[in-house]
């Protein structure tokens, strides 16, 4: 399966951001990709107003999602990203959407909110309460995660034990001391924990690091971007997953019960 990862700097104007998403979808499909992963919270962002993502939240049948669905109607590309979806007045859910064939085929409300490094995502965002689903793309089972979820190995492991071959991760990884190192280390660690591919998109711009990566089941980076807008590609191979899991059967060798959501 050919996968694409797009990264860009989200602007404060949602119409600009949806146009960027549509352009990446068009290019990824033209280049033969079957899966496209875009960043977290692509609706709107403003460096001077950290609450803009929530203030700009839409509902499921508003224009941003409708335009993405319309773009996907006539091809088999699966596009994954996250948006803020309205919940109660002044609040929203950071919601991952998988879009294919003109509709949203899966949703996941971010479980682990980013209450760390002097940021409190939970102040305006409602956490999810259920494990994300698996979706199937071109014969691969894909597990869904969002940004800060990367720091919680039990979520990635739950998805792998449920049958995931690859994990996708839209993200907006904030800059800070050693944060690029955290990102790179955690992506490779989760790949090694699960013997899954990791397909991660990081928003770039003034506040976030970019550095989108595609990592193989042995933790090796097979495609990467820097801090600028980019669209990167890699081929994922089912046979290679089988080879790695025969050589490194960590999922079979586990002696602990599968983790449960509390």
Active site residues per annotation? 40, 110, 147
Nearest-angstrom CA–CA distance, 21 and 42: 9
C-alpha 217: how far from chain center: 17
Task: Give the Cα separation of 183 and 209 in Å (integer).
Answer: 9
Token pair listed for 231: 């669209």
The Cβ of residue 85 has, within 10 Å, a number of other Cβ atoms equal to: 20
Contact (Cβ atoms closer than 8 angstroms) between residue 66 and residue 107 = no
Closest alpha carbon to 114 in 147, 73, 159 = 147
d(Cα 46, Cα 100) in Å, to the nearest integer? Answer: 29
Contact (CB, 8 A) for 198 and 187? yes
Point out which residues pair with 231 in neighbouring strands. Answer: 6
């Amino acid at each position: 399966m050919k996968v694409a990862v797009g990264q860009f700097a989200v602007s404060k104007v949602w119409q600009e951001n949806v146009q960027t998403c549509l352009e990446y979808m068009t290019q990824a499909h033209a280049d033969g990709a079957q899966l496209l992963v875009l960043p977290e919270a692509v609706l709107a962002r403003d460096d001077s107003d950290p609450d803009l993502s929530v203030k700009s939240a839409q509902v499921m049948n508003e224009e941003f999602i409708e335009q993405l669905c319309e773009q996907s109607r006539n091809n088999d590309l699966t596009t994954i990203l996250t948006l803020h979806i309205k919940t109660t007045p002044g609040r929203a859910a950071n919601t991952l959407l998988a879009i294919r064939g003109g509709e949203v085929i899966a949703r996941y409300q971010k479980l682990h909110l980013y209450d760390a490094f002097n940021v409190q995502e939970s102040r305006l965002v409602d956490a999810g309460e259920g494990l994300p689903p698996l979706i199937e793309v071109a014969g691969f089972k894909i597990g869904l995660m969002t940004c800060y979820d990367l720091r919680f190995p039990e979520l990635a492991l739950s998805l792998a034990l449920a049958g995931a071959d690859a994990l996708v991760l839209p993200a907006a990884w904030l800059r800070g001391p050693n944060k690029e190192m955290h990102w790179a280390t955690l992506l490779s660690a989760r790949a090694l924990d699960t013997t899954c591919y990791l397909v991660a998109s990081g928003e770039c711009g003034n506040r976030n690091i970019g550095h989108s990566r595609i990592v193989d089941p042995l933790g090796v980076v097979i495609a990467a971007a820097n801090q600028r807008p980019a669209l990167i590609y890699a081929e994922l191979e089912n046979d290679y997953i089988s080879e790695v899991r025969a050589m490194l059967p960590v999922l079979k060798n586990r002696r602990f019960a599968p983790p449960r959501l509390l």
